[in-house]
Amino acid sequence: MTQASTSDPQLDVVVIGAGFAGLYALYKLRDGLGLRTRVFEAGDGVGGTWYWNRYPGARCDSESYIYSYSFSRELEQEWLWSSKYPEQPEILRYLDHVADRFDLRRDIVLGARVRSAHYDDAVPCWRIETERGERVSARFLVTAVGCLSAANVPQIPGLDRFEGRWVHTGQWPAEGVDFAEKRVGLIGTGSTGIQATPRIAAVARQLTVFQRTPNYTIPARNRALTAADWDEIKAIYPEIRQRARDGRAGFPFTLAGERALDFSEEERNSVYEALWQEGGFKFLYASFGDILRDKAANETASEFVRQKIRAIVKDPEIARRLCPTDHPYGSKRPPIDSDYFQTYNRENVTLVDLRESPLVEITATGIRTQDAEHPVDLIVFATGFDAMTGSLLRMDVRGSDGRRLADAWEAGPKTYLGLQTAGFPNLFTITGPGSPSVLVNMPVAIEQHVDWIADCIAHMGRSGLTRIEARPDAQDAWVEHVNAAARETLFYEAKSWYLGCNIPGKPEVFMPYVGGQAAYRDRCDAVARADYAGFALRP
């Protein structure tokens, strides 16, 4: 494999990260615009999320045929996903294939974590330095560092004394982890813990799940995609893609408009039951239009899921602990699962409710809660990420006049359209805070951002402009709009990572934009048409 030389002097663009976003950014900027572009990636391979998250049961929960790129008709036609929700190795194979097919690797430097990125007003350019000492300068900096890429290992007293092994799901060892005959403690019941639980339980001697907040999850009902499915999809692929782009959440299906409480309980439950049987995200998006806005409407969906939990889980006491009652369905990122609740019927699985018996410490041989010590040989942290801002702020990013991004975002991230921050010229963020991002089927959001950024840089080239920066007034208005939009929803009803609540000390600000992907795209396009209104452009 050829890797780029790191001694080149000046580049047009540096991209940080080689996941879905970084790979497409490289293709678009290098091959589309002919810019000298280089990608720095911390991992030893491309793929981002799908390089790092190799835990058992890791799979997408957007349907595969739309959890993929749409920029190349040929790629789209030649790739066949095995199932609706393929597992991590298959998604990583796809991204590796993309890197090879478009000859991207020669401009990607692997194993190169960017330590700092400083804007040099004098040249002007961005100066980028990696942890192993590579230095480059570039006219533009594009961060494609991922919204869910900064692993969160909670500070639990005693972890350093633990004599067994511990792993975080987002930094899973490539060689895998052997659970056979082990007593495993799994902390966390978000999407990741919910995917991993059944798979670990099937192999381990004993699995103890430590749950802080019970979660609603809908069955995935994964199935193989047949030749007939593919004939159907490929015949209308462009139309499916367009529907996804025009959708609120980046999915091609029709979103529900009706209000839940306009129907009788029986009618509502038959809608929920049909979607429960179908599986996946449609339960949230295609049931009723107000379940993320109206608490009473939401309660009908929440209670439907609780009833399912009570029906599936045989021990009523365990079912009670698994039933979420402290937040509305969908106010945390909703997981989808394969046999999650069923797993609690197994003899070798124990559920520890950390609300009833809080976690105290990790001992040499186990996990101690207020009531008991649970002996474990291996601890799996399914404790999520410092989401949306973590990977950006773990770098030392300084803009004009040496201003630190960490200071600019001290009270929470501030951006204009999620794309730029005032004071940080020529720095673009893909799916950054203030954009629909994680509320959307992400390849749709990523492609829209990369296309917009590429069009903007091309426009600057044509017009003899070299510097673009968000105007503070436009940024303030956008931040206010993002907050106001979130306040109309139920998203503030949960202590979620959307709000930064999972990281002690992180400002509580709703980070993604809830206005919907299509409306957001239209807004970005209108801004571009109006000579990039809200941005200051200079020769």
By CB under 6 A, name the binding residues for ligand NAP. 59-61, 148, 154, 187-193, 195, 212-213, 333, 354, 359, 382-385, 438, 497, 502
In this structure, how many other beta carbons lie within 10 angstroms of the beta carbon of residue 226?
10
Give yes or no for a contact between 414 and 228, defined as CB atoms under 8 angstroms apart.
no
Give yes or no for a contact between 448 and 521, defined as CB atoms under 8 angstroms apart.
yes
385, 503, 488, 492: which is closest to 438 by C-alpha? 385
Q: Which does 368 bind (CB under 5 to 8 A by kind): ligand FAD, ligand NAP, none?
A: none
Chosen residue from 11, 92, 108, 148 binding ligand FAD by CB under 6 A: 148
- Is 448 among the residues that bind ligand FAD (CB under 6 A)? no
Measured from the CB atom, the residue of 81 and 162 that comes closer to ligand FAD is: 81
Rounded to 5°, the CA angle 515-516-519 comes to 85
Residues 409-428 that bind ligand FAD (CB under 6 A): none
Measured from the CB atom, the residue of 399 and 418 that comes closer to ligand NAP is: 418
- Cα separation values, 37 from 18, 31, 59, 443, Å: 13, 9, 31, 21
Measured from the CB atom, the residue of 49 and 215 that comes closer to ligand FAD is: 49
Whole-number Å distance between alpha carbons of 445 and 431: 7
Q: Which does 41 bind (CB under 5 to 8 A by kind): ligand NAP, ligand FAD, none?
A: ligand FAD
Contacts within 8 Å (CB) and 24+ apart, 74-79: 75/101, 76/234, 76/237, 76/241, 77/234, 77/237
- Cα separation values, 418 from 394, 438, 459, Å: 18, 12, 19
The separation between the first and the last C-alpha atoms of the chain, rounded to the nearest angstrom, is 40
Q: Which does 433 bind (CB under 5 to 8 A by kind): ligand FAD, ligand NAP, none?
A: none
Q: Which residue is nearest to ligand NAP (CB)?
A: 190
3-state secondary structure of 206: strand
Residues 181-240 that bind ligand FAD (CB under 6 A): 192
Chosen residue from 391, 415, 421, 429 binding ligand FAD by CB under 6 A: 391
Give yes or no for a contact between 95 and 86, defined as CB atoms under 8 angstroms apart.
no
Tell me how far, at minimum, the Cβ of 145 lies from ligand FAD, in Å. Answer: 4
Burial class (CB in 10 A: 0-12, 13-18, 19+), 253: middle
Q: Which does 126 bind (CB under 5 to 8 A by kind): ligand FAD, ligand NAP, none?
A: none
Angle between helices 265-278 and 295-312 (to 10 degrees): 60
Q: Which does 193 bind (CB under 5 to 8 A by kind): ligand FAD, ligand NAP, none?
A: ligand NAP
Tell me how far, at minimum, the Cβ of 13 lies from ligand FAD, in Å. Answer: 15
3-state secondary structure of 477: helix
Chosen residue from 431, 435, 448, 517 binding ligand FAD by CB under 6 A: 431
Measured from the CB atom, the residue of 192 and 298 that comes closer to ligand FAD is: 192
Whole-number Å distance between alpha carbons of 258 and 254: 12
Residue 366: beta bridge partners? Answer: 375
Chosen residue from 99, 110, 144, 209 binding ligand FAD by CB under 6 A: 144
Tell me how far, at minimum, the Cβ of 497 lies from ligand NAP, in Å. Answer: 5
In this structure, how many other beta carbons lie within 10 angstroms of the beta carbon of residue 94?
21
Measured from the CB atom, the residue of 92 and 379 that comes closer to ligand FAD is: 92
List CB contacts of 293: < 8 A, sequence separation 6 or more. 488, 489, 490
Q: Interface mask (CB under 6 A) for ligand FAD, residues 311-350, using x and -?
A: ----------------------------------------
Tell me how far, at minimum, the Cβ of 19 lies from ligand FAD, in Å. Answer: 2
Q: Which does 498 bind (CB under 5 to 8 A by kind): ligand NAP, ligand FAD, none?
A: none
Q: Interface mask (CB under 6 A) for ligand FAD, residues 20-49, using x and -?
A: xxx-----------------xxxx----xx
Q: Which of the 8 DSSP states describes residue 216?
A: -
Tell me how far, at minimum, the Cβ of 442 lies from ligand NAP, in Å. Answer: 9
List CB contacts of 494: < 8 A, sequence separation 6 or more. 326, 327, 328, 331, 332, 501
Q: Interface mask (CB under 6 A) for ligand FAD, residues 244-263, using x and -?
A: --------------------
Binding-residue total with ligand FAD (CB under 6 A): 35
Contact positions vs ligand FAD (CB under 6 A): 16-22, 40-43, 48-49, 51, 53, 58, 60-62, 67, 113-114, 144-146, 148-149, 192, 391, 395, 430-431, 441-442, 446
